[in-house]
């Protein structure tokens, strides 16, 4: 009896130690939940969610405007020739400013919801590099082939110096992937999870989360072109669905980063005028902007087929974490 009592006390202490070492994310959910339900609690906290979205979007604009002003001052000091206010340095700081949404989104989630930043990456609370690598191997050649069709029609060429074009290529290869990841962490990450926590029903929360995050994603690009906004909505809805289904941002980041970086590299290689390539006004956009739509639809179909048996990836439960 003494041995059994001692064993029972030891087992109780051991379980208490395990409980105290559990990650905070696991402590929030006793049963597995979908990615967009990661911030669900007993209260809907809609006001807190609106504050989180406001901080995210406001912070993004502060980063962009502040760094752009700094870049313009540097350009003026060193005598860089600006074309419609566009220089390689302004292009680089613009990408860096959006990349700052990665730590900013994590900070907002931690501050307002008490959930660690890693939970934004996936339902496992960390970035799944194995999924990221497999998606990169598949999507890179597919995206390049698609953009060959997209660039079949000639674009206006630039007279920029070769060193300016090299700076644009360097930005595309080094900073653009992080810029794309920043948008994913902000819109398919934080906003999706914030809005997804506003309803009692998980499916209604998913529809609301995809709708709100996608509309906001299109709006922050400030385009007056209906066709371009259609492309933004298709891209946002597709990547949001993939994020929900796979339980993380990895494939969405690959889609976004590969498409943007490859496009910018080709622009520089063909000496396409970046002031024309980045023009989002209605008169500058034609139906060719919808050529990449099959890429997003195809990615959604592939993910649906690959997960038809396993279903939506969920968070580990507290019991699974102990195990």
Please check whether residue 6 lies inside any domain of the structure. Answer: no
Length of the chain: 323
- Alpha carbon distance 163, 218 (integer Å): 33
- In the beta sheet, which residues pair with residue 280? none
> What secondary structure does DSSP assign to 17-46, as a single string?
HHHHHS-HHHHH-SS---GGGTT--SS--H
SS3 category, 86: strand
Q: What is the pLDDT of residue 162?
A: 82
Please check whether residue 97 lies inside any domain of the structure. Answer: yes
SS3 category, 227: helix
What is the count of structural domains for the chain?
1
Q: What is the pLDDT of residue 30?
A: 67
Please check whether residue 9 lies inside any domain of the structure. Answer: no
Mean pLDDT of 146-163: 79
Please check whether residue 269 lies inside any domain of the structure. Answer: yes
Q: What is the pLDDT of residue 151?
A: 84
pTM, two decimals, is 0.88
- Work out the mean pLDDT of the chain and round it to a whole number: 88
Which residues 6+ apart lie within 8 Å of 230 measured at CB? 290
Please check whether residue 19 lies inside any domain of the structure. Answer: no
Provide the CB-side half-sphere exposure for 58 (13 A, CA): 7
Q: What is the pLDDT of residues 17-72, one digit of tens each?
A: 333 333 343 334 568 999 999 999 988 899 999 999 999 999 999 999 999 999 99
Please check whether residue 262 lies inside any domain of the structure. Answer: yes
Residue 125: which region, alpha, beta or left (left: phi > 0; alpha: psi -120 to 50)? left
Please check whether residue 13 lies inside any domain of the structure. Answer: no
- Alpha carbon distance 249, 243 (integer Å): 5
Q: What is the pLDDT of residue 77?
A: 93
Instruction: Decide if 247 contacts 314 (C-beta within 8 A).
Output: yes
Pairwise pLDDT comparison (105 vs 267), residue with the higher score:
105
> What secondary structure does DSSP assign to 96-164, as a single string?
HHHHTHHHHHHHHHHHHH---GGGGTBTTSS--HHHHHHHHHHHHHHHHHHHHHHTSS--PBP---HHH
Q: What is the pLDDT of residue 270?
A: 85
Domain encompassing residue 276: 25-322
Mean pLDDT of 115-128: 96
Mean pLDDT of 181-199: 98
């Amino acid at each position: 009896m003494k041995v059994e009592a001692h064993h029972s006390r030891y087992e109780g202490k051991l379980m208490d130690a395990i409980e105290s070492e559990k990650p905070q994310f696991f402590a929030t959910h006793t049963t597995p939940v979908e990615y967009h339900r990661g911030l669900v609690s007993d209260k809907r906290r809609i006001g807190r969610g609106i504050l989180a979205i406001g901080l995210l979007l406001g912070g993004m604009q502060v980063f962009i405007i502040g760094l752009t002003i700094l870049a313009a001052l540097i350009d003026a000091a060193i005598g860089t020739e600006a074309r419609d206010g566009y220089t390689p340095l302004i292009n680089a700081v613009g990408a860096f400013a959006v990349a700052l949404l990665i730590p900013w989104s994590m900070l907002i989630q931690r501050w307002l919801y008490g959930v660690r930043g890693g939970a934004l990456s996936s339902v496992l609370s960390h970035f799944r590099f194995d999924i990221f690598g497999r998606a990169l191997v598949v999507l890179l050649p597919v995206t390049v082939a698609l953009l060959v069709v997209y660039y079949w029609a000639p674009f206006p060429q630039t007279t920029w110096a070769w060193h300016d074009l090299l700076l644009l290529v360097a930005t595309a290869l080094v900073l653009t992937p992080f810029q794309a990841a920043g948008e994913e962490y902000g819109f398919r990450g934080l906003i999706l999870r914030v809005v997804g926590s506003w309803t009692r029903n998980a499916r209604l929360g998913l529809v609301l989360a995809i709708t709100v995050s996608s509309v906001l994603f299109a709006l922050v690009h400030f385009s007056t072109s209906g066709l371009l906004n259609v492309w933004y909505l298709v891209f946002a809805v597709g990547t949001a669905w993939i994020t929900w289904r796979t339980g993380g941002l990895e494939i969405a980041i690959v889609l976004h980063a590969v498409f943007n970086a490859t496009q910018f590299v080709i622009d520089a290689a063909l000496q396409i005028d970046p002031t024309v390539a980045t023009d989002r006004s209605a008169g500058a956009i034609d139906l060719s902007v919808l050529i990449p739509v099959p890429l997003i639809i195809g990615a959604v179909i592939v993910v649906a087929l690959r997960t038809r048996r396993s279903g939506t990836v969920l968070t580990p439960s507290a019991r699974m974490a102990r195990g």
